Amino acid sequence: MPSMSAAPPPTSARDRVVAWVRELVQFGLVGASAFLIDISLFNLLQRGPVAVLAGHPNTANAVAAATATAYSWVANRMWTYRGRTQDNLAREALLFASANLGGLVITQSCLLATHHLLGLTSALADNIAAYVVGFVLSTAFRFLFYHYVVFTGTPQRPGPPTSADATPASTRPSDATPVSAGTAASQQPSGADHLSQGTS
């Protein structure tokens, strides 16, 4: 059965660049799917067949965001940063939540600066502040926070071969049981046995 452990850490500059690109792509795919879960669940709770939170957009947004965040943590833990997870699960979850809270603060700060400080109150200005500038900055913050703070476990390098593995098969002891000289001699027929067989 193939091992599910992560690959050993890259050593050359090219390997490090490839690892960063792969991590960024996986991070982006997880983030995109988490966004779809967030917006879909929000609308489902508001206007879906069940609509259990119709008329309560803030509560629906909180439930959808919490669900998407939990999914993002599990997906990043099992895929993007597999092999680099922390042993303390509660600490890792707390750091992950802190990263997402920090991203929210960045987005809110961009919106606060443009809308209330600069006086750019149009819908276009609000969307650019929140979903362009704020989104890019918060995404970069979360990516770096995940890489350097949240998922900081070190993948184990493959160990050196043992002496048993390094021994050639031709020099290893055979599974056959050795036969001693005394046992071999006792199994050979004696001269008396030959005479008795000849007279019979």
Model confidence pLDDT, tens digit, residues 169-191: 454 555 445 555 555 445 555 55
Tokens 């809270």 map to which residue?
Answer: 101
User: Which own/partner pairs from 28-34 qualify as long-range (CB within 8 Å, at least 24 positions apart)?
Assistant: 30/72, 30/75, 30/76, 30/79, 30/80, 31/72, 31/139, 33/71, 33/75, 34/68, 34/69, 34/71, 34/72, 34/75
Closest CA to 79 of 156, 138, 2, 6: 6
Which letter does DSSP use for residue 155 in this model? P
pTM: 0.65
Predicted confidence (pLDDT) at residue 5 exceeds the cutoff of 60: no
pLDDT digit string (tens) for 125-152? 888 988 899 989 999 999 999 999 999 8
